[in-house]
Structure 1
Amino acid sequence: MTITTDSFTVRPFTRNCHIIWDEADHVLIGVSPGNSYFSAARITELARWAAPRFTAVDFVYADLHVSAVFAALGHAPEQAARRATKELKAVRRRILGGVEAAGPPGRRIGVRALSEFSGDPVYALLHRRVQHFLVTDEEFRKSCDRMVQQFLAPKLSAGESITSEQRSACLDYIAAELPFFLDTPGILGVPSSVSCYHALMPLTELLYGKGGGLRAARNQGYAVVRPEAPERSVDDDHRARAA
């Protein structure tokens, strides 16, 4: 279920995600601060690629709990706050510059920070659901723990274990992002939406699979979007199963 375009290779996670992709109502491109993948040039490429294909495009960058993560990694509180502020200013500047360099798109391209949605009732409800399932659903909690491990492993010294403070700060950071993987249409008022990232999350299988528990809305899709064609694997058909 891989789609090859002129600039990026797209892999919708399920058949339903592919249908939502074809509807082309809205695409959400999540941007992580401090991630070298999201250079200004990459943002420009993504904007030029997405604008002609979707009715609306939004870049959303994570700006919540960033200083808490730095503090948990050993920075003094003031230093953690300064570093977070510096990184968030840099990522916003890169996104705005990249979108501007893409030229007039003929489509709406939004640039928003996660913190802008803190007062949104739909976002707040979804965030509370995430927090509830972290406490009550073992499968969901284990998947989040794998995301914590994936996020923190490159930042720790060899043999160093994750502390409870680091785990808590990282879970807060992840929980703040998850509403947009659950129901972007509900938050932004669009008919359907595809959340795009350049890699699969450990939570993707759970959120977009069948069954009970915390699951993405039916009109919420997920796709891995990369600038080069991914290698085929024996898991491709499994990942493209019907939702």
Structure 2
Amino acid sequence: MTITTEAFTVQPFTRSCHQIWDEGDHVLIGVSPGNSYFSAGRITELVRWASARFSRIDIVYADLHVAELFGALGYEEDHAARRASKELKAVRRRVLRGVEEADPQGTPVRVHGLSEFAGHPVYELLHRRVQHFLATDDNVRAGCERMAAHFLSSKIGGPVAGAEQLAACLDYISAELPFFLDTPGILGVPSSVSCYHVPIPLTDLLYAKGGGLRASRNQAHAVVRPEGIAA
């Protein structure tokens, strides 16, 4: 079911995801560095929209394995490190400026880099679980490789990626996935909706019945995009 609000169209992935959305406990906004979608203005719109519906907002931007990705794409080590540092400083500035301009009227908004969760017991447990299934489950591997191929195709100008590029991209993806599995466990909230503006290839698997790599029962996912913009 699609939910249309004044600013965004929301597509909860399952009926359970819709129920968690209705509870309004918490929303996680994931931000990718180097993605022009995440301007300061967009962050402002998202925070204003979310603060009217949720009791708490967390924004997490991916700051792990970025330099390694640039290195795999052909940058020299020093250049890759400088490029990654520049992009991550820029995305943090945009996020913080967007939050400040949103003026969320008392709704707590916290901003984190993924690296802040290094050593966090729940995050580390989930990360090890992701890596285990990535190594042993063909469906998980295929889903992650589809995500990696989509990302890399825009960077290398074609669909064929080398082994080093694929490995770096899978490390980047596996660092993000714990928040798609159990944000409530990591952040200590009753339930959570993880939001992104495009569908994630692994979502079908994470919300399937049966065993394997699955989202927790109080974890929801929704595609959230501005009104009038197609998926």
TM-score using structure 2 length: 0.98
Q: Secondary structure at the match of 2:10?
A: strand
CA distance in 2, matches of 1:104, 1:95: 14
RMSD of Structure 2 on Structure 1 (CA): 1.2
C-alpha contact 1:52 1:106 (8 A) present in aligned 2:
no
Gaps of 5+ in 1: 233-243
Per the alignment, residue 53 of structure 1 pairs with 53
Task: Provide, for residues 170-228 of structure 1, a one-character-per-residue CA deviation record: whole Å limited to 9, x for no partner.
Answer: 00000000000000000000000000000111101111121221000000000000102
Per the alignment, residue 169 of structure 1 pairs with 168
After superposing on structure 2, the runs of 4+ consecutive aligned residues of structure 1 that deviate more than 6 Å are none
Gaps of 5+ in 2: none
1:31-110 matches, within 5 Å, as: 31-110=31-110
CA distance in 2, matches of 1:104, 1:15: 28
Deviation at 1:119, TM superposition (A): 1.2
CA distance in 1, matches of 2:229, 2:120: 37
CA distance in 2, matches of 1:183, 1:72: 30
Q: Secondary structure at the match of 2:103?
A: coil
C-alpha contact 1:31 1:62 (8 A) present in aligned 2:
yes
Q: Secondary structure at the match of 1:27?
A: strand
Per the alignment, residue 2 of structure 1 pairs with 2
TM-score using structure 1 length: 0.93
CA distance in 2, matches of 1:51, 1:43: 12
Q: Which amino acid aligns with 1:57?
A: I
Paired residues, what number?
231
C-alpha contact 2:26 2:56 (8 A) present in aligned 1:
yes
1:104-123 matches, within 5 Å, as: 104-123=104-123
Q: Secondary structure at the match of 1:134?
A: helix
Amino-acid identity (%): 68
